Structure 1
Amino acid sequence: MTGTTRTARDIDTLPKAHLHLHFTGSMAFDTLLDLSVAHRVRLPESLTAHWPPTLASAMDERGWFRFQRLYDAARACVRSEDDMRRIVDEAAATDAAEGSRWLEIQVDPTSYAPFVGGITPALEIVLDEAQKASERHDIGVGVVVAASRLKHPFDARTLARLAARNAGPVVGFGLSNDERRGDTESFAPAFRIARDAGLASLPHGGELLGPDAVTETLDALRPDRLGHGVRSADSDDVLRRVVDDGVGLEVCPGSNVALGVYEEARDVPLRRLFDAGAKMALGADDPLLFGSRLSDQYRTAREVHGFSDAELAQLARDSFAISRAPQDVVQRANADIDAWLLGQPAGSPRPNEA
């Protein structure tokens, strides 16, 4: 029929891997309110007056402090094993509803250890619920143990050893928080412990700081992926190194704009990174504070950056390629991405298999 336009394919049915999601930040706003009431924790009015909250630019350290204050307030509402299990289960369910086949959720167990008897029980709770949520919601869930730049590098080594002892369900080791704090090189011993156990090296870098910080992180921590890494686009040489070294990027457009790294969604260099050959996985980072989830990042790629459905499919394939998902999960996802492009239901045979 002439004169008609084809409806864009449904992004929620595109198979994806979600590789940048923080434990506390994954919470739904209603869950946060429930926990605050249950534990009689008073939340800042700036968080409860309207959602998502208005955030100051994190490019100003005072802006980051205000963001961190809200995050810490939310984290203070997580005070029991049941709370922790609820967060993992809801994160998996929400991701599955958005087409995610594989989720790597990042957690620093020291934040919850006081309420459950230590860092080991805290991690064990997350790992146990991740396995149960995987089965319940038909989505693979891996766990990334993350150290904080605000703490001593010896603490990072302790967490790396804990992560190493649980390699398998723990798929990687990360380093989070304000990248302007701490000495990146001082965390290298922790990352060596993790790498020796076969874990992926997954530090944050190249968000609040530019390409020099990306280079420093590449040299010191030998990352498999960079949390964010978006500022590598500021330098042709650094971006070329990222691509040549096969370092994946966990790009979170909604987060970048909410924190003031870029003024508007169109300023995020998604197209430049993609055209340069960078392997990317779009991520939601902290939906609780930023107000956007995984599918929203793909909609931004389509509606703001002009990505075609074929290019969205390539983003999805790349998200699995740089993940720690089992090979059978990757193979099924790639087959269903092909089916999505052909407008067929998931599980449909490929043309040469029909």
Structure 2
Amino acid sequence: MTRSLETLPKAHLHLHFTGSMRPATLLELAERHGVRLPAALSGQQMVSLSPDERGWFRFQRLYDAARACVRTAEDMRRVVLEAAADDAAEGSRRLELQVDPTSYAPHVGGLTPALEVVLAAAREATALTGTTVAVVVAASRVRHPLDARTLARLAARHAGDGPGEVVGFGLSNDERRGDTAEFAAAFTIARRAGLASVPHSGELLGPEHVRTTLAALRPDRLGHGVRCAEDPAVLARVVDAGVALEVCPASNVALGVYGDLAAVPLRRLLDAGATVALGADDPLLFGPRLVAQYRSAREDHGLDDAALAGLAKASISASRGTAGDKAALHAEVDDWLAAAPEGREGLTGATRV
């Protein structure tokens, strides 16, 4: 007998704006705007890629094609509202949605209007769903570090910890591109504004890149960070620094980092004392959403309900919610664990990529 993972209160800290889109929404927007989608998107096939640059190029091509379908403020609003609704249905009580407004700025009049559309939609989504929606502004490694500084200043002007506010500053795209240290100035701007430092690191590159990111960007959380498990010294440094890891098992497998969900070193990270917050990353391409990541933890890694409740609490603790909000959600997790099991959930096996 197990408890329902959909009713487990949790926070979702690693979900990208474009990658959160429902497949049906993508198809509708593509038709409306006359965008011809690659077969992998139009046929709603879940991607399976190699972990080399060729694999990333294919992923980026698909992602760019999906992003090209979001062309109006109303499109952007819809993406946020649907992401929040989908998260709320899975028991997510807080969503920190990651977006790079650069891609949408040409359609809505600039960087500031693009971010403000997302923030307004986040406030609306919070009111409609009861899931608190905040925003992480993300720079891209493939753009100049000066562009990252511009985004950091924009993020700083909208900093806060409530719904419809910016709570963090990230750095995404292929870890193999750009010089991580060159983005340090942007992260300093964000940190001074009270924003969390949440760069991607430790998925496509190994523990040495995690070491570089720790030194240069002083992260509060690492997007992925899963490969620090390959070096006990780096993992110990992550744990000692209190850096949370946003682990996204389905995307790790889809990008070819691990052969299957059981190979993701979740238990190794937990046994070392790491704070792990499970995330779905880009379910538009990778398929499984947030609950599937928890189901994998249960079925592929043997975590019982107490350990799953611990993962949910870790996600809440690693969020940028207020102390009062975190305490209230922790109490809800305790209530979930104290309740009688509801049935034999998930016996058909974890969702595979």
Shorter chain as normaliser: what TM range?
over 0.9
Show the counterpart of 1:4: none
Matches of 2:190 and 2:47 in 1, distance apart? Answer: 37
Q: What one-letter code is carried by the residue in structure 2 that aligns with 1:53? A: M
Q: Which residue of structure 1 aligns with residue 344 of structure 2?
A: none
Match in the other structure for 2:100: 108
Q: If the length of structure 1 is used for normalisation, what is the TM-score?
A: 0.94
- 1-side partners of 2:208 and 2:104: how far apart? 34
Given that 2:135 and 2:167 are in contact with CA atoms closer than 8 Å, whether structure 1 keeps it comes out as yes
Q: Give 1:333 deviation, angstroms.
A: 1.1
Q: Over residues 54-83 of structure 1, what are the superposed CA-to-partner deviations in whole Å (9 max), with x where a residue is unaligned?
A: 3321x2101100000000000000000000
**Deviation digits for residues 137-196 of structure 1 (CA, Å, limit 9, x no counterpart):** 001111000000000000000000000011111000000000000000000000000000
In the TM superposition, residue 328 of structure 1 has moved relative to its aligned partner by: 2.6
AA aligned to 1:291 is: G
Deviation sequence 1:182-241 (CA, Å, 0-9, x none) = 000000000000000000000000000000000000000000000000000000100000
Which residue of the other structure, out of 137, 147, 155, is the alignment partner of 1:155? 147
| Secondary structure of 1:226 counterpart | strand
Name stretches of at least 5 consecutive residues in structure 2 with no aligned partner. Answer: 342-353
Question: 1:45 Cα shift?
Answer: 1.3
Q: 1:8 aligns with which of 2, 13, 19?
A: 2
Give the number of aligned pairs.
Answer: 337
Higher Cα Rg, which structure: 1
CA distance in 2, matches of 1:247, 1:45: 39
AA paired with 1:10? S
**Cα distance in 2 for residues equivalent to 1:159 and 1:75:** 19
Return the letter of the residue paired with 2:7: T
Give the distance between the partners of 1:324 and 1:331, measured in 2 at CA. Answer: 13
Could you tell me whether the CA contact under 8 Å between 2:3 and 2:340 is conserved in 1? no
The structure with higher relative contact order (CA 8 Å, sep 6+) is 2
How much has 1:332 moved relative to structure 2?
1.7
Runs of 4+ more than 4 Å apart: none
Over aligned residue pairs, what C-alpha RMSD do you find?
Answer: 1.0
Aligned to 1:93: 85
CA distance in 2, matches of 1:92, 1:214: 30
Identify the match of residue 257 of structure 1 among 253, 265, 277: 253
Q: 1:55 corresponds to which residue?
A: 48
Q: 1:78 to 1:86 in 2, by over 3 A?
A: same
**TM-score w.r.t. length of structure 2:** 0.94
8 Å contact from structure 1 (residues 52, 288) kept in 2: no
Is 2:199 the counterpart of 1:203? yes
SS of residue in 2 equivalent to 1:56: coil
Q: Is residue 293 of structure 1 aligned with residue 283 of structure 2?
A: no
State the alpha-carbon separation in 1 of the partners of residues 325 and 288 from structure 2. Answer: 25
- Structure 1 vs Structure 2: percent identity of aligned residues? 67
- Cα deviation for residue 344 of structure 1 reads 6.2
